[in-house]
Amino acid sequence: MRTITLAAAIAAVVAVSGCSQSSSPSDKAAGPQASAPAPSGSAPAKTRENPLLTKSDLPFQAPPFDKIKDSDFAPAFEQGMKEQLTEVQKIADNPDKPTFDNTLVAMEKSGQTLNRVQMDFNALFSANSDDALSKVNEDMAPKLAAHSDAIYLNDKLFQRIQTLYNERDSLKLDPESERLLEWYYNDFVHHGAKLSDADKTKLKSFNEQASKLESQFVNKLLAATKAGALVVDDKSKLDGLSEGEIAAAAQAAKDRGLDGKWVLPLQNTTQQPALAELTNRDVRKQLFENSYTRTEKGDANDTRKTIAELAKVRAEKAKLLGYPNYAAWKLEDQMAKTPDAVLKFVRALVPPTMAKARHEAGELQSIIDKSGKHFKLQAWDWEFYAEKLRKAKYDLDQDQIKPYFEVDNVLKNGVFYAAHELYGLTFKERKDIPVYNPDVKVFEVFDKDGKPLGLFYADYFKRDNKQGGAWMDNLVGQSKLLGTKPVIYNVCNFTKPAPGQPALISWDDVTTMFHEFGHALHGFFASQQYPSLSGTNVARDFVEFPSQFNEHWASYPQVFNHYAKNYKTGEPMPKELAAKIHKAATFNQGYDLGELLSASLLDMSWHMIPADAPLKDVDQFEAQALKDNHTDLSYLPPRYRSSYFMHIWGNGYSAGYYAYLWTEMLDDDAYQWFENHGGMTRANGQRFRDMILSRGNTEDLGKMFRDFYGKDPEVGPMLKDRGLK
């Protein structure tokens, strides 16, 4: 998932929250109210007003997507930045002695126009983009970076914050306010507030360069992923796919003006779902290579030069800020704290995982050999033969189970049902709220007492103009100070069925839906005064904890039996078939965990480059990094290669992809606690809500976890859940 919000007063470009396997264009601003003056040059009264410049009058301040045009964003960004800088400078120039209210509360109220523009833009650019929005993204990135610097590096403003910080013991603040003060001070220092004027100028240059490179990467990757789709002109080459999947491929081709052909669009990860089914090995190889080299064609969408330059700029920025490498700077405010802590955690998982993967590879090679074919297992063979092995070991066929997983039913009778049983939530579809694409559905969410909690948007199907992966984000954040309730969306990339066909998804897709809704719950249950500390505005290596924890309920018998029903007959999944899914839960874990480990360590390798290192050749660097980290198995590529690793180059997870594994440890510990205390009960759900989901970033996250779990996190339940113990 992902959610990306920023501090209440700081504009886009410095991410604080998190996402699931996905991507995001830019970070957010948050902030203040102010009635925006009309853009310069506006004339007669009949001139159309920019809907982004006024607070929405829709329920929960939901965006008026039916009124917003691409051309509204650039002037709205400019206006929002202008407003916030005026507000911030007024705070900095205040002649009165600094107080919590006239400095930090005022900061929390600043920038509301910019925040609204950024949130609406993020939704459209990531999930429903076009060339015009890509141009806005690239044009605005350096301006937003400069805007952020203008706040972080405002010395008069920082002096007021520092004065309050030095006097914090005598201010008698409530715990959340005290946390906000500490957060502001540390955040400003972390972003260069104590640098000399000369070094601040250098930092501004680095930030501008980085923002340009990041936006270029995002735009190139989106175009390359679309261009990398496999086009097939002979239906027989799709042997192995279901009729529904073939119809969807035909529809995808038709949508591109390729009537009479079939298109398999690329998903963001290295491996592609169709590789598990395609019987033609040459077609599998072509699909895999289209994915593996999507951004390495030597054309305008080749990202290698961009990421090499970006890694260099980040390293130089870290050195300027006093750190040995970018990872050391980035991890300072995370749970892990240091690169050494991350490496110790991740590398400890490598030996047992690679041993398991080698054993799995041997089993797959045996199947190949027994079939009478004579070739060595390759990456494009793994999913296909793993599926055969799954069938042999567990008599489990994905085509058998998909009829029991229809998207709407999984959502309403699975995801929503679990939220009701644990937390008392109820949902009502709203068809009067405008959406940005016809695929999107909107639901009003009601709390356990029947009071409105917020709005939830569900956008589940793949489009060519949607970034890959799955994520959560806010359109409106929660804040008691601002009087706002959460408006949240989940985005996925499931295959869209042909017209009139059911939307049947895989078991992995089911768990993705639960995952992203776990992020949504974290946002819906936010109960903070201040927007900077609200909901998912937590460390990267904590934000995935609620989402991964929520995945467990997908297979919980009470929940599973409530939604796993045949879309035609309504009959529940046979117990024997359901048992096969549960028995197969630890199947292929050497591969599944291995691709995550190699990606996590590849991320750390890129961000531990010292500033004085020469510009790296991306291909050579990646190969050496995989070798040095002992994850260089030819048949087990990283989940993301360097050249299309959206998380670390465009999504705020730089030196942070390990967070999925770190938070998996936390979520398995938490689920173990539930199992030890009666499982799915309202009392247990309420405790988790009260102690984790509703707390935002109002206290030390390690303490928050220990208070819930009773001790420090431990890796045992994670290894057990993965079948490695």
pLDDT tens digits along 72-90: 999 999 999 999 999 999 9
124: CB partners within 8 A, 6+ apart:
65, 68, 133, 436
Question: What is residue 1's predicted lDDT score, i.e. its pLDDT?
Answer: 33
Query: Where does the pLDDT of residue 46 fall: very low under 50, low under 70, confident under 90, or very high at 90 and above?
Result: low
Query: Where does the pLDDT of residue 527 fall: very low under 50, low under 70, confident under 90, or very high at 90 and above?
Result: very high
Residue 6 has pLDDT above 70, yes or no: no
Kindly state the tokens that stand for 286: 């072509």
Q: Measured in whole angstroms, how far is the alpha carbon of residue 650 from the centre of its chain?
A: 11
Give which of 287, 134, 131, 225 is closest to 463, Cα–Cα.
Answer: 225
Q: What is the Cα–Cα distance from 60 to 452, expressed in whole angstroms?
A: 9
User: Catalytic residue among 208, 406, 421, 516, which?
Assistant: 516
Question: 678: which DSSP letter?
Answer: T
Q: What is the mean pLDDT of residues 182-206?
A: 97
Q: Tens digit of pLDDT for each residue in 238-283?
A: 999 999 999 999 999 999 999 999 999 999 899 999 999 999 999 9
Instruction: Tell me if 557 sits within 8 A of 323, measured CB to CB.
Output: no
Reported pTM: 0.89
Q: Tens digit of pLDDT for each residue in 267-326?
A: 989 999 999 999 999 999 999 999 999 999 999 999 999 999 999 999 999 999 999 999
Residue 123 has pLDDT above 80, yes or no: yes
Give which of 575, 273, 553, 271 is closest to 404, Cα–Cα.
Answer: 575
Residue 31 has pLDDT above 90, yes or no: no
- 363 catalytic? Reply is no
Total H helices, total E strands in the chain: 27, 7
Instruction: Tell me if 425 sits within 8 A of 446, measured CB to CB.
Output: yes
Question: Which residue did the predictor score with more confidence, 552 or 469?
Answer: 552
Total residue length of the chain: 725
Question: What is residue 444's predicted lDDT score, i.e. its pLDDT?
Answer: 98
Q: What is the Cα–Cα distance from 130 to 140, expressed in whole angstroms?
A: 15
Domains along the sequence of the chain with CATH:
59-193 (1.20.1050.40), 230-293 (no CATH)
DSSP 446-468: E-TTS-EEEEEEEEEE--TTS-S
Q: What share of the chain is helix, strand, coil (3-state, %, to 5)?
A: 55, 5, 35
